C-alpha cells in the first residue's frame, strides 16, 4: 500500500471516530420539568430516562424501567436533583418536597421516571419564579432541560404538554418564569431555538447538508468521455442554488414531521434512522458519479421526508400536541431552516474560494468517500443494532502504517 493510501485510510478512520461520537444525534438528550400552578400551591414533576440517571450517578438501570429498579436508588436520585434545582421568588426559597414517583412507558422511546413534587411555603402565587436547573449539564454538555407549565388556570393553560416556557443549558442554568400571564411568543421562540440546536448537534443532518454543499460551487462538464468539475463564476447564483436545494429538504421534512406528529403516519425509529444514515451515502455517491444530473433537489426532497420522521422522534409526545401543535411545528421547522442556512453561510464562502484550485476535485472525491464510510458505519449500527469495534480497526491501521 502506498503512503498516500495509508494516509487516506488513517484520515478516514479518524474522521469516523470523530463522527461516531455523535451517532446518538437523534437522541433527545432532554430532561423535563413540568409545573402545575394552582390557587395557592405549586407542584410538578421531573422526568428522566434511565440513560440520564445512569450518566448522572453511575447507575446501571435498563432502558425499560420498573418501580422495583428505581426504588433502591430513589433517595440518591432525589438528593442529586435537589442539589441542582431550586425555586425562589424575591429572595424567598420554596423547598422541593418529593411526593411519589411513577414510570412513563412510551412506544419506540425510552421510558421516563416521573419524580412528582410540591413546593413548600407557597402561600400566595408569586408573579415570577426564579428557577435554577443544572441537572446533567456537567456530564453531558449538549443536554437540555425543558420547562413546561402544564397547568396554570389564571394564565389560561390547562393540560399543556406542548409549549416550552424555558430551555435550560449548561451556560444558562438560571432563568425567570412569569406566572401572571402566558406568552405564546415565548414558547414559539423556545421551539425555534430547539430547531436550531437540533440541527447543530445532529451530525447526520449536518453531514447530509455537507454532501449537498460540496459540489455547489462547481459544475460538471463532460469532456474526453469523462466528467470533470469546473468552478462556477457567480457566487450569488451558486449560493441561491444550494439554498433552493436545502429549502426542498425543509419542505419535505416539514411534511413528514407534521404527519408523524398528528399520528397519521408512524414508522419505526430503527427504519427511519437507518435510512437517514444511508441518505448521506447516496448524496455523497452522487458527487462521485451523477445519479440525478442537475437534480440534486430530488435527493434533498426524497430523503428529507425520512429526516422529518427523525425530527418527530426528537419532539415525540414531549414536544408536540394539544392546542399548540401548529405553533410547535412552525417554530421547530423555522429553527431547523435557520440552523441549516447558518451552516451554509459558514461553509459556502470557504468552498467558493477553493473551487478553482486543482485540489478541489480531490476534496469532493475523498470527502465523499469519507461520508460514504461514515454512512455505512451508521447504517450497520442502526439497522442491525450493533456496536462496531472501531478501536480495533484504528489499532490495526496505525500498526500497519508503522
Which is it for the CA torsion 122, 41, 160, 141, positive or negative? positive
Percent of the chain residues topping a pLDDT of 70: 81
Three-state DSSP class for 63?
coil
Tell me: pLDDT of 367 over 80.
yes
pLDDT at 155: 67
Considering the domain architecture, whether residues 120 and 208 belong to the same structural domain is answered as no
Residue 191 falls inside a structural domain:
no
Residue 40 banded pLDDT, cuts 50, 70, 90: confident
Whether residue 20 is found in the same domain as residue 35: no
Range of the domain at 283: 3-24+202-220+229-401
Assess whether 123 and 181 both reside in one domain.
yes
The reply to whether 197 falls in a domain is no
| d(C-alpha 172, C-alpha 150), whole Å | 22
Smallest CA-to-CA distance from 234 within 217, 250, 247 is with 217
**DSSP output for 341-392:** HHHHHHHHHHHHHHTTSTTHHHHHHHHHHHHHHHHHHHHHHHHHT----HHH
Average pLDDT, the chain: 82
Q: Is residue 367 part of a domain?
A: yes
C-alpha count within 13 angstroms, C-beta hemisphere, residue 371 = 30
Q: Which of 43, 207, 6 is nearest to 118 (CA)?
A: 43
Contacts of 76 (CB under 8 A, 6+ apart): 57
195 falls within a domain: no
Residue 112: Cβ within 10 Å count: 23
Pick the range with the lowest mean pLDDT from 140-154, 214-228, 246-260: 214-228
The tally of domains found in the chain comes to: 2
252 and 329, same domain (yes or no): yes
Same-domain check for residues 159 and 47:
yes
Report whether pLDDT(134) > 90.
yes
For residue 257 the three cell numbers come to 414531521
**Do the domain assignments include residue 193?**
no
Identify whether residues 289 and 392 lie together within a single domain. yes
Specify whether 17 is located in the same domain as 141. Answer: no
Q: Are residues 138 and 11 in the same domain?
A: no
**Of the residues 128, 161, 186, the one at which a domain ends:** 186
What proportion of the chain, given as a percentage, has pLDDT over 90?
46
Give the three cell numbers for residue 181: 400571564
Contact residues for 344 (Cβ-Cβ < 8 A; gap 6+): 209, 213, 239, 242, 243, 246
DSSP annotation string for 234-258: -HHHHHHHHHHHHHHHHHHHHHHHH
Strands 85-89 and 174-178: unpaired
- What burial class does residue 221 get, using C-beta atoms within 10 Å of its C-beta: 0-12 exposed, 13-18 middle, 19+ buried? exposed
Query: Which residues, in sequence order, are CB contacts of 228 under 8 Å at separation 6+?
Result: 220, 221, 222, 361
Specify whether the CB–CB gap between 87 and 119 falls below 8 A.
yes
- b/e for 267-283, b at 16 or more Cβ within 10 A? bebeebbbbbbbbbbbb
Residue 74 and residue 166 in one domain: yes
Strongest mean pLDDT among 182-196, 302-316, 329-343: 329-343
State the average pLDDT over residues 57-72.
Answer: 93
196 within some domain: no
Rounded to the nearest 10°, the torsion over CA 293, 297, 298, 302 is 150
DSSP-assigned letter for residue 214: G
Helix (H, G, I), strand (E, B), or coil: what is residue 172?
A: strand
Kindly state whether residues 173 and 276 are assigned to the same domain: no
Q: Is residue 194 a part of any domain in this protein?
A: no
The span from the CA of 325 to the CA of 166, in Å, is 17
Q: Both 72 and 135 in a single domain? A: yes
Q: Provide the pLDDT confidence category of residue 58 given band limits of 50, 70 and 90.
A: very high
* Claim to verify: residue 273 and residue 147 sit in the same structural domain: no
Q: Does residue 318 form part of some domain?
A: yes
Please report the pLDDT score of residue 2 as a whole number. 46
Distance CA 298, CA 302 (A): 6
Q: Give residues with Cβ within 8 angstroms of 321, minimum separation 6.
A: 161, 162, 261
Amino acid at each position: 500500500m502506498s503512503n498516500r493510501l495509508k494516509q487516506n485510510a488513517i484520515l478516514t478512520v479518524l474522521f469516523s471516530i470523530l463522527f461516531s461520537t455523535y451517532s446518538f444525534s437523534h437522541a433527545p438528550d432532554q430532561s423535563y420539568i413540568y409545573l402545575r400552578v394552582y390557587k395557592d400551591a405549586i407542584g410538578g414533576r421531573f422526568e428522566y430516562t434511565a440513560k440520564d440517571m445512569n450518566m448522572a450517578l453511575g447507575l446501571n438501570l435498563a432502558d425499560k424501567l420498573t418501580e422495583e429498579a428505581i426504588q433502591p436508588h430513589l433517595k440518591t436520585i432525589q438528593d442529586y436533583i435537589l442539589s441542582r434545582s431550586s425555586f425562589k421568588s424575591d429572595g424567598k426559597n420554596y423547598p422541593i418536597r418529593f411526593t411519589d414517583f411513577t414510570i412513563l412507558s412510551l412506544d419506540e422511546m425510552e421510558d421516563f421516571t416521573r419524580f412528582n413534587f410540591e413546593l413548600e411555603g407557597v402561600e400566595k402565587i408569586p408573579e415570577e419564579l426564579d428557577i435554577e436547573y443544572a441537572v446533567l449539564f456537567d456530564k453531558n454538555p449538549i443536554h437540555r432541560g425543558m420547562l413546561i407549565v402544564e397547568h396554570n388556570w389564571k394564565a389560561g393553560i390547562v393540560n399543556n404538554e406542548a409549549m416550552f416556557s424555558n430551555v435550560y443549558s449548561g451556560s444558562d442554568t438560571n432563568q425567570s418564569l412569569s406566572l401572571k400571564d402566558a406568552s405564546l411568543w415565548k414558547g414559539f421562540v423556545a421551539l425555534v431555538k430547539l430547531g436550531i440546536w437540533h440541527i447543530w448537534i445532529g451530525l447526520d443532518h449536518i453531514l447530509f447538508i455537507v454532501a449537498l454543499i460540496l459540489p455547489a460551487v462547481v459544475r460538471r462538464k463532460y469532456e474526453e468521455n469523462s466528467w470533470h468539475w469546473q468552478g462556477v463564476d457567480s457566487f450569488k447564483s451558486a449560493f441561491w442554488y444550494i439554498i433552493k436545494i436545502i429549502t426542498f429538504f425543509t419542505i419535505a421534512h416539514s411534511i413528514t414531521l407534521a404527519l408523524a406528529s398528528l399520528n397519521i403516519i408512524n414508522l419505526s425509529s430503527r427504519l427511519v434512522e437507518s435510512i437517514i444514515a444511508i441518505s448521506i451515502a447516496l448524496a455523497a455517491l452522487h458527487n462521485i458519479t451523477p445519479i440525478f444530473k442537475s437534480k440534486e433537489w430530488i435527493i434533498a426532497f426524497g430523503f428529507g421526508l425520512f429526516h422529518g420522521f427523525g425530527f418527530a422522534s426528537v419532539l415525540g409526545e414531549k414536544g408536540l400536541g394539544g392546542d399548540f401543535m401548529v405553533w410547535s411545528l412552525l417554530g421547530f421547522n423555522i429553527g431547523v431552516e435557520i440552523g441549516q442556512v447558518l451552516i451554509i453561510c459558514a461553509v459556502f464562502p470557504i468552498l467558493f474560494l477553493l473551487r478553482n484550485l486543482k485540489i478541489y476535485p480531490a476534496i469532493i472525491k475523498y470527502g465523499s468517500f469519507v461520508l460514504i464510510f461514515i454512512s455505512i458505519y451508521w447504517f450497520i449500527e442502526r439497522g442491525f443494532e450493533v456496536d462496531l469495534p472501531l478501536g480495533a480497526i484504528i489499532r490495526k491501521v496505525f500498526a500497519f502504517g508503522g
